[in-house]
Structure 1
């Protein structure tokens, strides 16, 4: 277990484990419902593709930093995306030693379609499972999840039990 302070009470550890399981199940549902599985691309490859679409021409090193993965992992994803014709690379006009990766127009359309599919599923699921009285609670939960996702822990301490 990794923590930055004193150990969490058992109920917090249980909540963290439940949150992790719920997020894994939701991610799997989003992949299935959005049509992601039919693309033949992994979640990692699609995340890299989405970054290329968002960032515009970008270096592999910048992609690795954005995705918090190694340069080797980015190189593997980019090789698959290039083979699929979704990204292209060209020399950086300001530094010919570097390559800039750009998205093919079809990549933007693919990412938009997947995001729309995910949003559509979530709207339908919310309509089916969330009461009007719970919408405020869901909004607060989303804010908490956003805060959790953006926290910087720095050097974590490993706690052995």
Structure 2
């Protein structure tokens, strides 16, 4: 008997999961395009690292790796690009000279703010144009469901 819960799910759940994944991928792509993110020349990963530095900095590379759920090597590669672009810089940790702290340049905060504002503006305009007033509550319920999915703890037997 197969105890894998994914193999026991009805086909409709798998189809729904695939549709949701596809819709989210399309929306993420649209947000990148509409916000101007694609024009930055930075990858999604690099921009995620930059946003973390802006939000948390000064921060260590190890902390960034943990926050981004990636390896130290992946963080180092992203930071190299961000440093070369003049968006971040490093300095010795005053409490532990063996460590380096990464900080964002002022232009990095402006870039992150501009991209986030562009995404929010696009979504607000799209909701205003596509979602009927009587559907707004459905949007709110959908957001709550997506938040619950994002927070789901499946460690008891999931993937």
The alignment's TM-score, normalised by the length of structure 1, stands at 0.91
Q: Counterparts of 1:97-136 in structure 2 under 5 Å? A: 97-136=98-137
Give the unaligned 5+ runs of structure 2. Answer: none
Q: How many pairs align?
A: 156
Residues 112 and 124 from structure 1, CA distance in 2 versus in 1: closer, same or farther, beyond 3 angstroms?
same
Deviation at 1:12, TM superposition (A): 1.0
Task: Give CA-to-partner distance per residue, 1:88-124, whole Å, 9 cap, x none.
Answer: 1111111111111000011000000000100111011
**What's 2:95 paired with?**
94
Aligned counterparts of 1:105 and 1:4: Cα–Cα separation in 2: 49
3-state DSSP class of the match of 2:103?
strand
Residues 156 and 55 from structure 1, CA distance in 2 versus in 1: closer, same or farther, beyond 3 angstroms?
farther
Segments ≥4 residues shifted beyond 6 Å: none
Decide whether the 8 Å contact of 1:34 with 1:118 is kept in 2.
Answer: yes
The alignment's TM-score, normalised by the length of structure 2, stands at 0.92
Residues 31 and 156 from structure 1, CA distance in 2 versus in 1: closer, same or farther, beyond 3 angstroms?
farther
Q: Counterparts of 1:58-69 in structure 2 under 5 Å? A: 58-69=59-70
Aligned counterparts of 1:42 and 1:156: Cα–Cα separation in 2: 33
3-state DSSP class of the match of 2:91?
strand
Q: Which has the higher contact order (CA 8 A, sep 6+)?
A: 1
Give the unaligned 5+ runs of structure 1. Answer: none
